[in-house]
Amino acid sequence: GGGGGGRKKNGGPGGRVPQLQPIKFRHGRSTPLLPPPSLNPPLENCLAPSEQSTCSWVTKRFLRRNVLEMAIAPASASNPATSAAKDYDLPWVEKYRPHKIADIVGNEDAVCRLQVIARDGNMPNLIFAGPPGTGKTTSILALAHELLGANFKEAVLELNASDDRGIDVVRNKIKMFAQKKVTLPPGRHKIILLDEADSMTSGAQQALRRTMEIYSNTTRFALACNTSAKIIEPIQSRCAIVRFSRLSDRDILDRLLRVVQAENVPYIPEGLEAVVFTADGDMRQALNNLQATFSGFQFVNQENVFKVCDQPHPLHVINIIRHTTGGNIDEAYTGLKQLYDLGYSASDIITTLFRVVKNYDMPEYLKLEYLKEVGFAHMRIADGVGTILQLSGLLAKLCIIRDEAKAV
């Protein structure tokens, strides 16, 4: 041909471009039929003897790569260790989230109401109000699963109102979903879940009120919020309010015991008690603290839990209270200054102080006076007044209350 006909290219170890011949396999087929990965013969044995010498290194490398991929792919797809690693990476809050209403922990009255709704099948518009981590969102999702079954994905719209809380979301996303046609069993409705609805703007709530009226025949709304007072009255009047309270320590401890047994977590009872103490009735916080402690230290005890959660250790706070009840203001202030110098905020210190005083062994009238003064100090700190000064004044006031009670 042209001017490049005399140029030679180095295509392999032999210095020339080999002519790739069709590969003849022993079984006579034009495509390889490989045995299972564990029985794969050597690569050269797949070729006829006459072709082994003329097969180029490029072809051998190509075949070797494909043989290895075919041998590895099935093993990785069915490897239980891989799936176990994926399960392990999943946060325990999601891994152990209940999918049935009967499995929800605590708030028996609210759970009973939801079970009646699931049994009857006619769900009204609902407002779930309560502190975080008490099961509001989980209850809504479990109710939707039991009502809709296989139609859950196409008939449920979940929005977090903290991110999408403007009036445009109500006019566009929510309205378009309410207009969408979904085939559901008789008596069932599409469900729109608005999490943290108390952070929606007033204009968005007003627009939502009208949308709830127009599409009431096909769509039901479920709103989750921390305080129902931030929901406007017209929406409250159109919804049934289900109130959730903080979970008891017993309920949280029972669920933690199930999790540590399922995950083979080494622990001591005092460690789980510390997790329950730091959670303060919040199941989400309890599971997150448990998983963080196990991931960081591989063992759950008191010291590890309080290191991970970064809260003032209750034993230090108990010593401060003991010094105030003994009238030793200097030792009490020394303990307080040590906690403050460790970087704990005044809010963390006084919150732990309140919880310790609430369970401290002292006369009832003295405990009530202590709690009253702790509450006043907390209010002043929340207003932004000098923190260490307020904490020091609180200790002095507690010592005075103790002296007055002793004199009486």
Q: Residue 109 is part of a domain; what is its CATH number?
A: 3.40.50.300
> Quick one: 298 and 355 in the same domain?
no
Rounded CA-CA distance 407/400 in Å is 11
CB 167 within 8 A of CB 151: no
Contacts of 188 (CB under 8 A, 6+ apart): 121, 147, 148, 151, 155
**CB burial of residue 330 (10 Å; 0-12, 13-18, 19+):** exposed
**CB burial of residue 279 (10 Å; 0-12, 13-18, 19+):** buried
> Quick one: 304 and 345 in the same domain?
no
> Quick one: 128 and 238 in the same domain?
yes
User: Where a domain ends, among 39, 74, 109?
Assistant: 74
Rounded CA-CA distance 269/401 in Å is 36
Tell me which residue range forms the domain holding 31. 11-74
| Chain-centroid distance, C-alpha 47 | 56
| Chain-centroid distance, C-alpha 35 | 45
User: Is residue 351 in a domain?
Assistant: yes
> Quick one: 159 and 238 in the same domain?
yes
**What torsion do the CA atoms of 308, 287, 301, 341 make, to the nearest 10 degrees?**
30
User: Is residue 83 in a domain?
Assistant: no
> Quick one: 106 and 220 in the same domain?
yes
> Quick one: 333 and 392 in the same domain?
yes
> Quick one: 255 and 325 in the same domain?
no
> Quick one: 239 and 106 in the same domain?
yes
CA-closest candidate to residue 65, choices 77, 73, 76: 73
Structural domains counted in the chain: 4
> Quick one: 230 and 358 in the same domain?
no
CATH code of the domain containing 394: 1.20.272.10
> Quick one: 33 and 109 in the same domain?
no
Tens of each residue's pLDDT in the chain, 408 residues: 444 444 444 444 445 554 545 545 444 444 444 444 444 444 444 444 444 444 444 334 433 444 344 444 444 344 444 444 444 578 999 999 999 999 999 899 999 999 999 998 889 999 999 999 999 999 999 999 999 988 899 999 988 866 666 777 777 888 889 888 888 888 889 999 999 888 888 888 888 888 888 998 889 999 999 998 999 999 999 999 999 999 999 999 999 999 999 999 999 999 999 999 999 899 999 999 999 999 999 999 999 998 898 888 899 999 999 999 988 999 999 999 999 998 888 888 999 999 999 989 989 999 999 999 999 999 999 888 878 889 999 999 999 998 888 766
User: Is residue 69 in a domain?
Assistant: yes
Residue written as tokens 């005890």?
Answer: 301
pTM of this prediction exceeds 0.75: no
User: Is residue 88 in a domain?
Assistant: no
> Quick one: 185 and 114 in the same domain?
yes
User: Where a domain ends, among 258, 282, 309?
Assistant: 309
User: Is residue 45 in a domain?
Assistant: yes
> Quick one: 188 and 124 in the same domain?
yes
Q: Computed over its alpha carbons, how large is the radius of gyration of the chain?
A: 33
Q: Tell me, what amino acid is at 318?
A: I
